[in-house]
């Protein structure tokens, strides 16, 4: 179930990621879908939340000075709050949780195809499945416009309103072929050829339209709520996904059991659009992808680079504390290295062409693993040396088709938070448990506390003896059980070289993102012939564990942007405070304040050149957590009047108090 509850993005619970599961953070804030609407709807609650969490009275803290400026229009806030409250708790079922919803969506696809062919008799139908949030159908026809989409929806409404029966019929293959040929539907003939069963099922809508289909459907079109159906978009799609085949018109629609569910879904969709990291990346000047340099190559702008720097520093600190040695390795290597590793055999389509350098072939690295193996091989090892843990923020390059590139989520060059553990067989469980603990510690820092965990077991084609597969899989299972995490078994879904654990994090909208992975590898130790000397002075092979927590810095940054809707928590925000003068006569004092912030490791910026209301609006648009407003009174008393994006006006503070308050909040991952 996906639950859309009272949603808010610009409140202090969004600014404060979970540090520890046992912290004083209120448990009801763990629901990721409480962060979903616009900031103004919860600004009034933010001050109370700040007071309750920090034991500070803020209601009377704001001192009336010439620097104070009213908040955005209160009426607008109330209207947004009222709209948000109407969606306080709407449950969105899934195809898996509701068979009736699946039947509705499948039937809607057929109703849409019938409507299209009524309006456009020359249109040829192909396939029309249900999908995660609705349905689509592909048509061979002239390109459609949004205006024509509305006509199709009206025709669908008429078909639904006629309450036509859905009738199942079973025919022979020859009879199905005869009927399809009579309709001149060439794509249906191709589909018929791909059906293996001897008896073919057909579904009719009344006696006016039919298609090859196995079902299921609703009994009558009237079972569909017209007000819970909407056609969303038109896209091009190649038949069978083959760019050498005809381009089709794909119409996407969404369908739900009730109008309230549709409204909640559309609200969710609009919120996802508002959070789109590609848009926010431009608005907040975080990153870009420059066509002049090539698609899929990320430019980290100063503000985005600062966030990356903070992430990297935290990542390194945690890894060093947990016994990892940090590495840096080359971006290219001899192609022979990738032949030995097997990447040229199994991964060649995702690798860039080789480079000839002085009659030797070199390769841009698609993986970091072989380099870490080479570092292991530089000297002999004894069983006393284990476990050996190495980690690297290593940039890799993988070929992706231009059509598949998508912001930070699908790129051609990215930095993995990669690590490898070399250990003994009886150390696998403890090392996996250590990785799970590290994963939890790191992800909680960024506010991710809900995970979907999958344990993938041995596939049909694999390397390694049965005994070691059993031991490795058992170690992964025991580690997960010790951790107390629930998980699903993906039977046969492991890599050919070993079993693995995959972890998906859940963001503020309830979407799941594959980030963390832990893989046991029996293949590379054998391919690179790495060994150690055991207690009997015999040579043995170590076990190799691959693991990544964030996945890649680029993709994880994109997830963070969308999770927080660009409203980063104070500790992670690229700019933590703006210093704003009322007039230019306070500029010198403002420079002193800004310099003091920077001297204390606080990311502060001086902004001037506009009237104060405009400076404040600009800061809010840029989602700056804190504003230090300075007027004549503040200069005279050596203070600043503090305005929090989440807490409103926090009153007048001495500069040293302002600095210490920020430092304490950053250290504790709290908001102000």
Considering the candidates 36, 108, 213, 369, report the single residue annotated as catalytic: 369
Cα(206)–Cα(559) distance, rounded to whole angstroms?
A: 47
Cβ 425 vs Cβ 469: under 8 Å: no
Token reading at 480: 């997960």
Confirm whether 416 is a catalytic residue: yes
CA dihedral 425, 430, 433, 434 (to 10 degrees): -110
| Ramachandran angles phi, psi of 390, nearest 5° | -130, 145
Choosing from 546, 547, 623, 669, which is the catalytic residue? 546
Torsion of CA 495, 501, 502, 507, to 10 degrees: 180
Cα gap 446→563, rounded to integer Å? 10
Burial of 658 per CB tally in 10 Å (0-12, 13-18, 19+): buried
420 is annotated as an active-site residue: yes
Q: Provide the sign of the torsion angle of the four alpha carbons 531, 534, 538, 542, taken in this order.
A: negative
Distance from C-alpha of 370 to C-alpha of 394, rounded to nearest angstrom: 12
Q: Choose, from 138, 211, 417, 418, the residue flagged as catalytic.
A: 418
Active site residue 369: yes
As a 3-state breakdown, the chain gives helix, strand, coil percent values, each rounded to 5, of: 40, 25, 35
Give the angle 456-457-459 at the CA atoms, nearest 5°: 110
Inter-CA distances, 558 with 280, 506, 524, Å = 10, 14, 32
β 451-456/488-490 pair status: parallel
**Angstrom distance (rounded) from CA 617 to CA 283:** 14
Token pair 């119409």 is found at 251
**Three-class secondary structure of residue 516 per DSSP:** strand
Of the CA atoms within 13 Å of residue 390, those in its CB half-sphere come to: 18
Instruction: Give me 656's structure tokens.
Output: 């040293």
CA neighbor of 107 nearest in space, from 251, 213, 217: 217
- 90: part of which helix (H) or strand (E)? strand 89-92
| Partners of residue 348 on adjacent β-strands | none
Catalytic residue among 319, 420, 511, 563: 420
Using an 8 Å Cβ cutoff, are 641 and 68 in contact? yes
Helix and strand totals (H; E) in the chain:
21, 30
Question: Which is the catalytic residue, given 412, 500, 511, 603?
Answer: 500
418 is catalytic: yes
Q: How many Cβ atoms sit within 10 Å of the Cβ of residue 395?
A: 17
Catalytic hit among 363, 416, 427, 445:
416
Q: Is position 398 annotated as part of the catalytic site?
A: yes
Alpha-carbon radius of gyration of the chain: 29
Inter-residue contact 438 to 321 (CB < 8 Å): no
Q: How many CA atoms lie within 13 A of 4 on its CB side?
A: 23
Q: Give catalytic residues, as residue numbers.
A: 369, 398, 416, 418, 420, 500, 546
């Amino acid at each position: 179930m996906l639950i859309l509850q009272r949603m808010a993005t610009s409140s202090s619970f969004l600014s404060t990621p979970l540090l520890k599961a046992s912290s004083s953070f209120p448990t009801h804030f763990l629901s990721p879908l409480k962060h979903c609407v616009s900031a103004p709807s919860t600004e009034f609650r933010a001050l109370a939340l700040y007071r309750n969490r920090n034991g500070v009275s803020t209601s009377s803290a704001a001192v009336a000075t010439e620097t104070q400026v009213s908040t955005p229009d209160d009426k607008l806030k109330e209207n947004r709050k009222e709209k948000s409250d109407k969606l306080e708790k709407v449950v969105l079922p899934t195809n898996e949780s509701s068979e009736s919803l699946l039947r509705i969506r499948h039937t809607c696809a057929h109703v849409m195809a019938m409507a299209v062919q009524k309006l456009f008799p020359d249109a040829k139908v192909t396939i029309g499945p249900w999908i995660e949030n609705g349905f689509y159908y592909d048509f061979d026809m002239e390109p459609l416009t949004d205006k024509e989409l509305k006509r199709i929806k009206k025709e669908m409404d008429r078909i639904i309103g006629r309450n036509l029966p859905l009738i199942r019929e079973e025919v022979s293959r020859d009879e199905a072929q005869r009927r399809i040929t009579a309709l001149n539907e060439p794509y249906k003939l191709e589909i018929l050829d791909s059906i293996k069963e001897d008896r073919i099922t057909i579904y009719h809508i009344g006696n006016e339209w039919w298609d090859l289909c196995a079902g299921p459907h609703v009994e009558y079109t009237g079972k569909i709520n017209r007000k819970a159906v909407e056609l969303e978009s038109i896209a091009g799609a190649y038949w069978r996904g083959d760019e050498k085949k005809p381009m089709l018109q794909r119409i996407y629609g969404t369908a739900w059991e009730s109008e309230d569910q549709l409204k909640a879904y559309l609200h969710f969709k609009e919120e996802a659009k508002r959070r789109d990291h590609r848009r926010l990346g431009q608005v907040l000047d975080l990153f870009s992808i420059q066509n002049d340099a090539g698609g899929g190559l990320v430019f980290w702008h100063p503000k985005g680079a600062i966030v990356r720097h903070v992430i990297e520093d935290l990542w390194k600190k945690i890894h060093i504390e947990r016994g990892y040695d940090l590495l840096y390795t080359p971006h290219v290597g001899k192609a022979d290295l990738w032949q030995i590793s097997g990447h040229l055999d199994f991964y060649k389509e995702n690798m860039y062409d080789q480079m000839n350098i002085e009659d030797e072939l070199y390769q841009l690295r698609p993986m970091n693993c072989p380099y870490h193996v080479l570092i292991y091989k530089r000297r002999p090892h004894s069983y006393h040396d284990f476990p050996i843990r190495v980690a690297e923020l290593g940039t890799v390059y993988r070929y992706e088709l231009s059509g598949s590139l998508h912001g930070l989520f699908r790129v051609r060059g990215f930095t993995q938070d990669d690590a490898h553990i070399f250990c003994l067989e009886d150390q696998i469980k403890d090392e996996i448990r250590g990785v799970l603990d590290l994963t939890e510690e790191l992800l909680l820092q960024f506010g991710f506390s809900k995970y979907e965990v999958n344990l993938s077991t041995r596939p049909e084609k694999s390397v390694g003896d049965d005994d070691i597969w059993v031991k490795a899989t058992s170690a992964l299972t025991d580690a997960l059980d010790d951790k107390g995490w629930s998980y699903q078994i993906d039977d046969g879904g492991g890599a050919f070289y070993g079993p693995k654990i995959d972890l998906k994090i859940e963001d503020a909208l309830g979407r799941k993102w594959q980030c963390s992975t832990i893989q046991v590898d029996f293949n590379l130790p054998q391919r690179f012939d790495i060994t150690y000397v055991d207690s009997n002075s015999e040579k043995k092979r170590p076990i190799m564990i691959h693991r990544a927590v964030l996945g890649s810095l680029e993709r994880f940054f994109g997830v963070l942007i969308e999770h927080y809707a660009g409203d980063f928590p104070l500790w992670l925000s690229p700019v933590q405070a703006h210093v704003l003068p009322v007039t230019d006569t306070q500029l010198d004092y403002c420079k002193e304040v800004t310099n003091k912030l920077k001297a204390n490791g606080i990311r502060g910026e001086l902004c001037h050149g506009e009237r104060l209301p405009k400076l404040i609006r600009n800061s809010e648009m840029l989602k700056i957590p804190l504003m230090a407003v300075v007027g004549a009174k503040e200069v005279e008393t050596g203070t600043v009047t503090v305005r929090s994006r989440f807490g409103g006006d926090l009153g007048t503070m001495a500069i040293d108090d302002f600095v210490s308050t920020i430092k304490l909040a950053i250290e504790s991952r709290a908001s102000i």
